Amino acid sequence: MRRMAALSMLVLAITGISALAQEKLDPKKLLGKWEPVDSKLTSLTLEFQDKGKWILTVEIMGKTEKAEGTYKLEGNKLEVTMVLAGQEQKEVLTVKKLTDSEFVTTDSKGKDEAFRRKK
């Protein structure tokens, strides 16, 4: 009887994990301007636009720098690409949360980054 109960719990857990993994994120929620929740920079903004374009704007010591790139959201994987100093940089992030006001990712090194929608 205990085996059956344990097996049932295992099946439910696996089913729940599979459902979460297959949950589709709404790419329209990504559109707009985002700022990091915890940033040591004076000002940093990510702007996701239609047609897979994004812009990174950073203000450091009164100077504003911009970098543009492309992005693609498939499932919970967000692939971002930009050109810095003539070199293409590519990163695949795992989106842990995407709501109207919150956006949380994990990079390839396991570092989480939380953003809030900029008003």
How much of the chain, in percent, has pLDDT values that exceed 90?
55
**What tens digit of pLDDT does each residue of 16-42 get?**
443 344 457 888 999 999 999 986 656
CA dist 116 and 14 (Å) reads 31
The pLDDT of residue 41: 58
Kindly state the average pLDDT of the residues 78-84: 91
Give the domain CATH number at 50: 2.40.128.280
Q: What is the reported pTM? A: 0.75
Residue 11 is which amino acid?
V
Looking at the structure of the chain, the number of domains it has is: 1
> In the prediction, which pLDDT does 12 show?
35
Does residue 43 or residue 99 have the better pLDDT?
99
| Maximum mean pLDDT: which of 3-7, 26-30, 61-65, 85-89 | 26-30
Kindly state whether residue 15 falls inside one of the protein's structural domains.
no
Cα 109 from Cα 82, distance rounded (Å): 19
Residue 62 belongs to domain spanning: 25-117
| Average pLDDT score over residue span 83-98 | 90
Residue with tokens 């439910």: 12
* pLDDT (0 to 100) of residue 119: 78
Q: How far apart are CA 19 and CA 106, in angstroms?
A: 20
